[in-house]
Each structure stands twice: as structure tokens, then as C-alpha cells.
Amino acid sequence: MHSRVIVQTDDFDVAEECRALANSGRCGAVTQFVGVMRDRNEGDDIAVMELEHYPGMTERSIETIIERASERWPILAATVIHRVGSLLPGAQIVFVGVAAMHRQAAFSACEFIMDYLKSEAPFWKKECKADGTERWVDARDSDGQALSKWRV
Amino acid sequence: MITILFFAKYREQLGLGRMDFTLDTALCVGDLKKRLVSDGGEKWAEVLLADNTLCAVNQTIANDSVEINDGDEVAFYPPVTGG
């Protein structure tokens, strides 16, 4: 199983990442998730979002999540790219792509990796509202609940 | 000597992203929190004693009973909001 984990300020090319995953040997399915910055949150217009992470631990925690996914499903490769720094509405934030021989493993592992990334990987978002005020985004209960379906 | 890191909202609340701390005796995470709060006061209590404060020792999630040794990197941070 080949994994690729990148934290970067630059944007990423989804088509390029999917092509690279499709080139994994014996690949028959590639799934992808792209998280995009919303222009509204909790009723407010958001002008800019600042993303912070814990260098080192963030990458390690995502690698661990991918390893756990590969223990549950027969996946061939996984790529996670997460952006940090200043992002504008409509910007791509995160890419999760998984290659497998068959679709079910690729779908499930992609969702599993994204669910655990949201609740374990040390990233933090700060929103700068259109009126100039700033606030740190609070963790959502629904992100914790999303994990319950994987605990079997 | 250990390194203590603070991230996101906590870094702003404390006005501090990183500090060195001399270990005069073996400590667990819970002891370290108490020491920092007794040295720093209310602002530090709000950060370190909040129910949802997370801690990592050497970049692995740690609860209050995890032991801290000389040279370790300890981080305190709020619940994560990536993705």
C-alpha cells in the first residue's frame, strides 16, 4: 500500500492526483473527496479562512489513519493533501483519494480517512468574517458522531 | 528541559506559542498542567483545565497520566477543526 501525505499552502490538481492513483498496480477503482471552503458559516459571510496545523504531528496522524484504513479494506494507495494558510471562499481545502481493486473498498476507505482526519488530525480553522471580526471555528458534534459508524 | 507548544486559540489566549520548561522531577501531564496553572494563574487555568483541552507528548495524544521525560515535546491544543 502506497501512501502520500502532504500539508502545503499551494492549491492542488485533483485530476493529476487521481491519474497518479489510477496508475497504482491492479487498480480498478479510484474514489476522491474534495473539501471546499464555504462562503457562509453559522449565518455569517466569511471573507477569509486561516488554517493552522501542528507540523510533524499532523502528517503522522494522517499516516496512521491511512494505515488503519488499509487494515480494514484492501486498498492499493491513498493520497491526502491538506492546505494551510489563508484560503478564500471556493478554495479547495483538502483532497482524499483512494485506489483499490474494487469500488467498495475505495469508497469506504475514503470516507473513513476523511472522518478520522476531521476529528484527529491537528488542524484549526479561524474565520475572518466579512465585517472584519475573527473567530476560531468550534469542533462540531456531528464530526464525532461520524466516527461511530466505524466502531464495530 | 522540555518544550511546550500551544496551538490556535490557546496560543492567542496565552500570547505564547512555545516555551521551555525545566523538569526538576518526573512529572505526568496532569502534574505539568497544575504546575503551569499555579505559576501562570487564571488565564492558564482557562486553557489547561478546560474539559476539551487536548495534549500530545512527542506528537502522540496523551491523557493526564502519561509521564513526561526530559527532552520531550508537549503540546496543548483545542479540539481540531480541519478538513
Check if A83 contacts B (Cβ < 8 Å): no
Strands B73-77 and B2-6: parallel
Q: Alpha helix (H) ranges present in B15-59? A: 29-40, 42-48
Between vectors from CA B8 to CA B19 and to CA A145, what angle results, nearest 5°? 130
For residue B58, give the 3-state DSSP assignment: coil
Q: What percent of chain A has pLDDT over 70?
A: 99
User: Which residues in chain A have Cβ-Cβ distances shorter than 8 Å to B83?
Assistant: 35, 82, 93-94, 114, 117-118, 121, 123, 143
Check if B18 contacts A (Cβ < 8 Å): no
Q: For residue A142, what pLDDT band results from cuts at 50, 70 and 90?
A: confident
* Domain boundaries along the sequence of chain B: 2-77
Measured CA to CA, the distance from residue B47 to residue B29 in angstroms comes to 14
**What would the pLDDT profile of B6-59 be if each residue is shown by its tens digit?**
999 999 999 999 999 999 888 999 999 999 999 999 999 999 999 999 999 999
Give the contacts of A102 (CB within 8 A, at least 6 positions apart). Answer: A28, A29
User: Which residues in chain B have Cβ-Cβ distances shorter than 8 Å to A143?
Assistant: 83
Q: Alpha helix (H) ranges present in chain B? A: 8-14, 29-40, 42-48
Mean pLDDT of A122-150: 92
What phi and psi values does residue A18 have, to the nearest 5 degrees?
-70, -40
Bridge partners (DSSP) of residue B27 are B68
What does the DSSP 8-state code read for residue A54? -
Closest CA of chain A from B34, distance in Å = 24
Give the contacts of A43 (CB within 8 A, at least 6 positions apart). Answer: none
Check if B78 contacts A (Cβ < 8 Å): yes
pLDDT at residue A141, as a whole number:
81
Closest CA of chain A from B36, distance in Å = 21
Count of beta carbons in the 10 Å neighbourhood of residue A56: 14
Q: Which residue of B has its CA nearest to A80?
A: B83
Is the domain spanning A2-150 CATH 3.90.1170.40? The answer is yes
* Domain boundaries along the sequence of chain A: 2-150
Measured CA to CA, the distance from residue B31 to residue B21 in angstroms comes to 13
- What CATH code is assigned to B2-77? 3.10.20.30
pLDDT at residue A25, as a whole number:
87
- Candidates A65, A36, A61; CA nearest to A122 is A61
- Candidates A33, A20, A22; CA nearest to A69 is A33
User: Which residues in chain B have Cβ-Cβ distances shorter than 8 Å to A35?
Assistant: 83
